[in-house]
Structure 1
Amino acid sequence: MDELNKGTFISQQRFYSVTIDSDNIQMTIMVKGVPNELVDILVHDSKFESIIHLISHFSDEKLQAQIIINSTNIICL
């Protein structure tokens, strides 16, 4: 997983928390941003051997986002 325009692996400054639920079914990744920032994020889905492109928009009221990965979805809230 990385940012599309950075070409680097996960940065602790951007991706500050990774948790997996007790059943090992869902992973939640917390992402930081700054106001009016759009962040392109790529996630490799090994089950379907594909790359998912997510875009997270940050606003004055929303400076963090959650990427939720489970067996059926990869979403950014």
Structure 2
Amino acid sequence: MGLLEWLGGVKKGQYDEAIARCDVIEENLQLRSRGTEAFARLEALQTRQVEKERELSELKAENAELREITRTDVDSL
């Protein structure tokens, strides 16, 4: 079975319509592929954001510790 028959039993004079249907199917497949790629990039960005937020949290905690050490050192002078 050829593609045109699979699309609905194409008869004489219906080839333009069948080709247009093939074009629509191809376009939909391309859009789906681009959507999948975009979703993968979004997931990667979200993962990176979580890592950066964790890193920021660690740096804030370290900063707070250093401020406390500095405050203690200044008070002991």
Normalising TM by the smaller chain, what interval? under 0.3
Pair member with larger Rg: 2
The structure with the largest helix share of the pair is 2
**Greater relative contact order (Cα 8 A, min sep 6): structure 1 or 2?**
1
What TM-score results when the alignment is normalised by the length of structure 1? 0.17
